[in-house]
Amino acid sequence: MIKEKMLNALNEQINAEQYSSLLYLSMSAWCSEKGLPGFANWMYVQYQEEMTHANKFFKYIVERGGRASLKAIKQMPVEFDSILDVVEKTQAHEQLVTSLINNLVDIAVEERDHATQSFLKWFVDEQVEEEANVQEILDTLKLINGQGNGIFMLDRELRQRVFVDSTAATAV
């Protein structure tokens, strides 16, 4: 049976992942409206991924005999200054999520909860990838420096992103 402190922290993370998913869905809507279907697609895939993250925490809690508790999700931003603002906020958000995951690992270590430490390893690795992906887009956007042609090309590239449930192979 999972200890209460760990359980509460994992339940908070369900909420954080659900918030992440809606943040990216909101960004996707903004990008669509601004005529950036590729960015909108990338953000929509990001939304789908975050849902799988939330569900992975949910399933893990249940598997450990805990009660998964769902909470209200705070309002996510709906307006952005520019596509650069969207991507910078994505980067800041992923950095925040990394710190949340690290905090969960710290609690699992304190609580000597080896199963949860093992479970969280997937998320530690996932965050490295998440941060690298958004950093790449941000670097390209900065190189483009607001030039319409460059944004058009990048948008076309981002249209290629397809959702793959990377939690499926290791689903609990």
Give burial (CB, 10 Å; 0-12/13-18/19+) of 27: buried
Least separation in angstroms between residue 13's CB and ligand FEO is 9
Least separation in angstroms between residue 50's CB and ligand FEO is 5
H/E stretch holding 74 reads none
Least separation in angstroms between residue 95's CB and ligand FEO is 10
Pick the closer one to ligand FEO by CB: 94 or 155.
94
Residue pair 134/91 in contact (Cβ under 8 Å)? The answer is: yes
Footprint on residues 12-71 left by ligand FEO (CB under 6 A): 17, 20, 50, 53
Pick the closer one to ligand FEO by CB: 11 or 20.
20
The CB density around residue 144, as the number of other CB atoms within 10 Å, is 17
Pick the closer one to ligand FEO by CB: 21 or 151.
21
The CB density around residue 42, as the number of other CB atoms within 10 Å, is 27
Does the protein bind ligand FEO through residue 155 (CB under 6 A)? no
- Interatomic CA distance for residues 162 and 71, integer angstroms: 29
Does the protein bind ligand FEO through residue 94 (CB under 6 A)? yes
- Interatomic CA distance for residues 83 and 8, integer angstroms: 36
Number of residues engaging ligand FEO in binding (CB under 6 A): 7
- 130 three-class SS: helix
Does the protein bind ligand FEO through residue 113 (CB under 6 A)? no
Q: Which residues bind ligand FEO (CB under 6 A)?
A: 17, 20, 50, 53, 94, 97, 130
